Structure 1
Amino acid sequence: MIVYEYPFNERIRTLLRLEDLYEKFSFFLQQDHPYQHHVALSLIFEMLEVAGRADLKSDLLQELERQKQTLLGFRSNPNVATDMLNAIIEDINRINAALMACQGKSGQNIRENEWLMSIRGRTIIPGGACEFDLPSYYAWQNNSAEQRRADIAHWFAPLVPLFEAISMALRLLRESGNTTKMLAQAGSYQQMLQGKVYQMIRLRLDANLGAIPEISANKYMLWVRFMSQDGTLKPRAFESEVPFELTLCNF
């Protein structure tokens, strides 16, 4: 099964972009080759660009606090697993405290590192990070994999609370919706949303169908058109029925 997600607003779009970059960064950081660590470092620079919004930290703090207050209201419900609920609330408290302790703009420690900024300036140029452009960077790449990994983890450490907050916010959002089984007729599905505001759509379908959803939505209507790809990967309309699962998520 493949899960496709579609954000309704720029705030959720930013969180999903950062989550995607962090997952790629975590993968490449655990590898050993200098080229793979170069990708990990480049991904940190991309994260800084996406996380450049000054209000991202405050947005996350406010949203997690709001979710905590909502969860606290469930404590008196006998049908709720108290231990699980308390664990989530504890996690939110820990993440909020760590995020509040972060001073300055996200990634400020990296922006103040002249050596890293010199690498960042060259990596945006195609082929600009060659050994003759950045001999000190080339020397660093010849360190052991363990040393390079430790350096990158050290540079990234001040960003960890931000990404823990992003992970928690998206987890709560994904778990907020009810999943319904749907069927698209002739490769197309429409649903009126009647002005109700959602934050994100999650669409799950069997990978063996070969159907690819193209999603467009606003507060009034959701429209999913399913496409397929031929041998040249050129998209074309999928004209058969497509069973799928739909989750409308909202904080």
Structure 2
Amino acid sequence: MTQVLDGPHTTAPVSQLTRYEFPLNERIRTLLRLEDLFSKFNFFVSQDHRLDHHTALLTLFEIIEVGSRADLKSDLLQELDRQRTTLSQFRNHPNVDRDALEETLGGIDWAVGELNQFNGRLGYHLRDNEFLMIIRSRCSIPGGVCEFDLPGYHRWQSRPASARRTDIQAWFDPMRPLAKAVELVLKILRDSGEMTLAVAEQGSFTQQMSGKTYQLLTIDLPSELEVVPEFSANKYMLWVRFNVPNANGVSKNNPYLDPVEFRIRLCSL
């Protein structure tokens, strides 16, 4: 049995929630991975220790790997243009936050303009940077970036933190329009869904999809609840099951059988 308690202002009686996001197609999966990598990159590059900056470079290489899909730029431009057209229609709507709307439209205009000037695939501008390419190739070898393997890299790591940060930011700068575009598309996607409170009886929840296509599922769970959600979905039905992690962190085949109260949101562009 499944219960859904409707209402945008319904809140779960807990002090802290853990959010799980599940992409429902490959395109959104790629955008979420890039968002996660951009966030990690910004964190590590803002630190001062040389190991933090090493991790920032590793993350930069991961961004290049994930974002190297040939159609990523065109997909983002197409989606941003579609959202700009849709959002522009709300400029004269009396119940719209004009400042927030104009800020979003301004961000879209900037990202579209910058992306149109972006040539080639993500990270293509670094292909001729021998220093970075050598580091990247050595990173695939366990322990392959020791000082005796890459003395030039060791010398670079001994520079002041501000100098290292300037270098890393310069290598990343051409990717900023893409980062902004990913941020905008995911923000619009998340804002499209309404959070509702649901109850999964015996740790299982189902909801009819009525043939509508969604791109993102969000689940908020009480942080103190020792369960992990897993889902499956098609255009007709959504299933969410809650499992208990075992000693190895694997949750499958170990179902949670008590009722679970959680927040759920389905989002669609």
Same fold (TM over 0.5): yes
Q: For the Cα contact (< 8 Å) 2:69–2:121, is it kept in 1? A: no
5+ residue gaps in structure 1? Answer: none
In structure 2, relative to structure 1, the CA distance for the partners of 1:35 and 1:213 (3 Å cut) is same
- Tell me how far apart the structure 2 counterparts of residues 57 and 10 of structure 1 sit (CA, whole Å): 15
CA positional deviation for 1:6:
0.6
Q: Report whether the alignment pairs 1:149 with 2:165.
A: yes
Alignment root-mean-square deviation, CA: 1.3
Q: Distance in 1 between matches of 2:51 and 2:96?
A: 48
CA distance in 2, matches of 1:115, 1:86: 42
Of 38, 54, 57, the residue aligned with 1:41 is 57
Tell whether 2:259 aligns with 1:245. Answer: no
Q: 2:203 aligns with which of 173, 183, 187?
A: 187
TM-score when normalising by structure 2: 0.90
Q: What CA distance in whole angstroms lies between the structure 2 residues aligned with 1:30 and 1:86?
A: 29
What amino acid maps onto 2:186 in structure 1?
A: L
Instruction: For residue 102 of structure 1, give the secondary structure of its aligned residue in structure 2.
Output: coil
State the distance in 1 between where 2:154 and 2:48 align. Answer: 15
Q: For residues 121 and 231 of structure 1, what CA distance do their matches in structure 2 show?
A: 36
Take 1:177 and 1:43, find their aligned partners in 2: how far apart are those partners? Answer: 30
Q: Tell me the secondary structure at the aligned position of residue 127 of structure 1.
A: coil
Indicate conservation of the 8 Å contact 1:211/1:242, yes or no: no
| Residue in 2 that maps onto 1:2 | 18
Aligned residues between the structures:
251
Spell out the pairing of 1:38-117 with structure 2 (5 A cutoff): 38-117=54-133
Q: Which residue of 1 aligns with 2:227?
A: 211
TM-score with structure 1 length normalisation?
0.96
Identity %: 49
1:167 paired with 2:194, answer no
Quote how far apart the aligned CAs of 1:86 are.
1.9
The one-letter amino acid of 1:43's match is T
2:11 matched residue in structure 1: none
- Secondary structure, in 3 states, of the residue corresponding to 1:198? coil
Q: Distance in 2 between matches of 1:5 and 1:36?
A: 27
1-structure distance, mates of 2:132, 2:220: 40
